[in-house]
Amino acid sequence: MNKDNVRLAIAPIGWTNDDLPELGNENTFQQIISEMALAGFSGSEVGNKYPRDPAVLKPMLEMRGLQIVNAWFSTFFAKGNKAKTIDEFINHRDFLHAMGAKVIGCSEQSRSIQGTDKAVLEDKPCFSDEEWRLTAEGYNQLAELAAEKEMQVCLHHHMGTGIQTTEEIDRFMAMTNDNVYLLYDTGHAYYSEGCQQKMLAILIRYLPRINHVHLKDVRNSIIEQVRLEHLSFLDGVKRGTFTVPGDGDIDFEPVFTALDKANYKGWMVVEAEQDPALANPFEYAVKARGYLRDKAGI
Ligand SMILES: O=C1C[C@@H](O)[C@H](O)[C@@H](O)C1=O
Ligand SMILES: [Co+2]
């Protein structure tokens, strides 16, 4: 891939998991960012151990050659919580702007089961026409608010949410304006659609509107356990659904080729939540960095 276009970041979720705070609670903020830098990454997303004051956070990152590239934001438009969502979004946008980030990765969490004990492959919500209308209207407004700071909003399609499958991503992209982007997450696309081909089809269809990429690998054997045992999303994570690129069953080379051909300019973020007691986060960060050097040439 073209090194002038793409930069590499890593998410803290491999060290401490915001969805499962008991995973990696022993890992400190300074250890996390020091290991990210030592493994050869130049960006990070934001985790729950990060100081939220840019005056504190920025110098701690800068001295390690790191910058903040995005932070997760949960929206609740479909259930009618527009005013609260917008209010919180503005605070979040201003924090990310102060940190120098350009994109704001959001997930529509109305009726989401990603943090519950429901079976992730069976019990996901499906939005009504009215829920779709509210969601699209909300994201169109977020895009305008982001533009006020020369930033862009993107939707993180996610397991267990109302915007997970190919059809749901298609509907979301069709109902929103072109200034609403997609955060493409390889792991969620593969997990939802069950195969490489469909995972790639989403990427290829939306290349012009993808402005942020999460690189997660998956273990098919664990997804099979999730299916057979009707496990929740988080139970799957604890068993090892996800791992770093190159360590699981996804073939990443066509992903890199498609992004490169489309002249993708932006961050690619290694994001591989697994139990740090089973998968040493620093070791896996180094492994991911080596894989990206070998296979993507970056
Ligand atoms: O981007 C993400 C953030 C996490 O909190 C989430 O659950 C994970 O799977 C993900 O892709
Ligand atoms: Co992600």
What whole-number distance in Å separates Cα of residue 188 and Cα of residue 214?
Answer: 9
Supply the DSSP symbol for 20: B
Burial class (CB in 10 A: 0-12, 13-18, 19+), 29: middle
256 lines ligand 1 (CB under 6 A): no
Q: Is 157 in the pocket of ligand 1 (CB under 6 A)?
A: no
In a domain, 122, yes or no: yes
Closest CA to 104 of 134, 141, 53, 66: 141
Q: Is the CB of 74 under 6 A from ligand 1?
A: no
- 8 A C-beta contact, residue 55 and residue 79: no
Number of neighbours of residue 245 by Cβ within 10 angstroms: 25
CA atoms of 204 and 286, how far apart (whole Å): 29
Q: Residue 185 CA: which ligand is closest?
A: 2
Instruction: Determine the Cα–Cα distance for residues 83 and 62; give it in Å rounded to an integer.
Output: 35
Cβ–ligand 1 distance for 191 under 6 Å, the answer no
Does any ligand 1 atom lie closer than 6 A to the CB of residue 212? no
Q: pTM for the whole thing?
A: 0.98
Q: Per the domain annotation, does 187 fall within a domain? A: yes
Give the integer Cα–Cα distance in Å for 32 and 42. Answer: 13
Which atom, in ligand 1's list, is nearest to the CA of 159? 9
pLDDT tens, position by position, 141-185: 999 999 999 999 999 999 999 999 999 999 999 999 999 999 999
The two beta strands, 217-218 and 242-243, are antiparallel
Angle, CA 196 vertex, CA 191 and CA 197 arms, to 5°:
120
Smallest-distance ligand from the CA of 214 = 2
Which residues fall inside 5 Å of ion ligand 2, going by CB? Answer: 185, 214, 271
Residue 291: inside a domain, yes or no? yes
Whether the CB of 19 sits within 6 Å of ligand 1: yes
Of the candidates 191, 133, 132, 134, the one whose C-alpha atom is nearest the C-alpha of residue 163 is 132
Any domain includes 22 = yes
Residue 64 forms part of a structural domain? yes
- Is residue 205 one of the residues assigned to a domain? yes
Domain assignment of residue 40, given as a range: 6-296
Q: What amino acid is encoded at 106 in this protein?
A: C
- Residue-level pLDDT at 61: 98
Map residue 225 onto helix, strand or coil: helix
The total number of structural domains in the chain stands at 1
In a domain, 1, yes or no: no
Q: How far apart are CA 160 and CA 181, in angstroms?
A: 20
214 close to ligand 1 (CB < 6 Angstrom): yes
Ligand 1 mutation target, pool 23, 72, 250, most atoms within 8 A of CB: 72
R_g over Cα of the chain: 18
Is the complex ipTM more than 0.90?
yes
Residue nearest to ligand 1 atom 6, measured at CA: 19
Please report whether residue 14 resides in a domain.
Answer: yes
Of 68, 42, 35, the residue nearest 53 (C-alpha): 68
Q: Any idea what DSSP says for residue 12? A: G
pLDDT value at residue 109: 98
Q: What is the CATH number of the domain that holds 85?
A: 3.20.20.150
**Ligand 1 contact, 45 CB (< 6 A):** no
Q: pLDDT below 50 — which residues of the chain?
A: none
C-alpha 297 – ligand 1 centre gap (Å): 26
